[in-house]
Each structure stands twice: as structure tokens, then as C-alpha cells.
Amino acid sequence: MDVTALFQWSFFQPFLAAFWYLIPMFMLLGIIKTAWFKGKAGEFQVNLSARLCLDKTRYHLIKNVTLPTEDGTTQIDHVVVSEFGVFVVETKNMKGWIFGTPHQAQWTQKLFRFSHKFQNPLRQNHKHMKTLQVLLGLEDNQMQSVIVFIGNSTFKTPMPPNVTYGGGYIRFIKSHTTRVLSPEQVQRAVGQIAEGRLAASFSTDRAHVHHVKERVANKASQKQCPRCSGRMVLRKVKRGANVGNAFWGCARFPACRGMLKAE
């Protein structure tokens, strides 16, 4: 018998007996701090406010919709289907100051001295919109993109009306009062989403997370424009003393003239 191991166990046993309840508490605190939990908490708040503030007979809420795409999957936090359009809702649970414009590839979160770049949610939701639009066979005027920030965040740059705080997305949805879908089209859209979505399960979420990580890794290896953080393409100088030399130019040229030297 290992006497040393037995002594160590007998030494810690009284402490474990007295403070056993701290173990699940620390585990819970660890889970609460994860990005996954923050995302789910934000989605829950949006889901709850929609159920409480939108008439269920006129607005059909569908949450956590994962749709197949050509390169993998895309996951939509919430879809609200009504006669006034199909609203595709992207949720962000963030703190601090938020800087960004509609055309920037990345926005900035500033929390004290910490700065973090994240994908422009309008661009992120654009893919959601287009994937769902193809599935439903609807026109642009029948689809609406909505971004809702949950948490103690403040916009430090002007934002378009469809980028909102908390319950502001409810006001945005209710501000649309022109009927663009018939009752039959509404029911058909709800049915098409139910048929076209992937089954809501842990394996579906895990596969989507893996796909997102691959896309992020691929983007990290690509050149980014020093001005707008957009995609860079390899070009050649067409005239002047450096004609024929290669350089990286912004894909949005001439709207953006960001450049980098080719290595």
C-alpha cells in the first residue's frame, strides 16, 4: 500500500467534505465566462423579448436555424416571419465601446485598454439573408437584416437603423407596416424553413463551429487592407518606373486605395 498517497488523501478529505459545494460553483463560473454561454444568453434574451413583445398570431419566431450552404453551413440566431417581411436577426453579446461602419470588413470592440476586432455583423448577416432568401424564393424587399447588441455596450460611431441595442430590434421590426407577404406566403415560408433547416442538435452545432473555425483560420492567412480591413488581391504596376512590379491592392479599389508591398 502506498502510505504517502493514503496520507495525502486523508489530509485533503476534511477540506473536500467541508467545501464540496465550491467545486460545482467554480465549474459553473467557468462555463458562464465562455463565449458559447454569452452567445446563448444573448440569444435567450432576444428570444424572450420577441415572445413577449410580438403578436404570435402575426409574427412567427424561429430560433437557431442552421442551413446547408455550398461550402458548409450557416447558422441564423433568429428568424421572424410575418406579412411585413422575413426578419433575419443576428445577436451580439458584447461589452464596451463599439466602433464600425456598414462598409468596413471588421468592427472594433474597445473595453478599457483592450481592443478586439470582430467581423462586421452586417456582412455576417448578409450571408444568412442570401442563403435564406434562396431557400424561400423571395425578393430583396421581402427580407430584412437586423443586428441586436446585448450587454453593456455603446456605439461610438453612427449606426444604421437595423443595428440596435436590446429591445430596439422589436421597434425596428414593428416599424415595418407595409404588407409584402400574403398569409399563404407566410405559412409557406415557415414550412420551407422547417423542411430546409438541419436538425437542431449538438452534432449540428459542433459541425457548424468546426466550419466557422476553418473559415476564420483561412481568413487569418489572407492579406487584409490596412485602410478598410477588406480582402487584398495581388496586382501589378501598369505604368511608371515600377511597371511590372507586384503589390497587394484592396479588392474594393477604386472605393478604397489601400496597398501593401508584395513580399
DSSP 107-175: EEEEETTEEEEEE-HHHHHHHHHHHHHHHHT--GGGEEEEEEEESSEEE-S---TTEEETTHHHHHHHT
Contact partners, residue 35, CB within 8 Å, separation at least 6: none
170 pLDDT higher than 80:
yes
pTM: 0.66
177 pLDDT higher than 60:
yes
Q: Which residue is listed with cell 487592407?
A: 225
- Comparing 7-21, 176-190, 233-247, the range with the smallest average pLDDT is 7-21
Which region holds residue 52: left if phi is over 0, alpha if psi is between -120 and 50, else beta? Answer: alpha
pLDDT: which is higher, 229 or 21: 229
What pLDDT does 256 receive?
84
d(CA 234, CA 251): 9
What pLDDT does 198 receive?
87
Mean pLDDT within 97-121: 92
Task: Calculate what percentage of the chain has a pLDDT beyond 90.
Answer: 43
Mean pLDDT within 52-65: 92
Going from N- to C-terminal start, the domains of the chain cover 31-220, 232-261
For 211-243, how does the pLDDT look when each residue is reduced to its tens digit (9 = 90+)? 444 544 445 456 778 777 677 888 888 887 778
Mean pLDDT within 28-38: 54
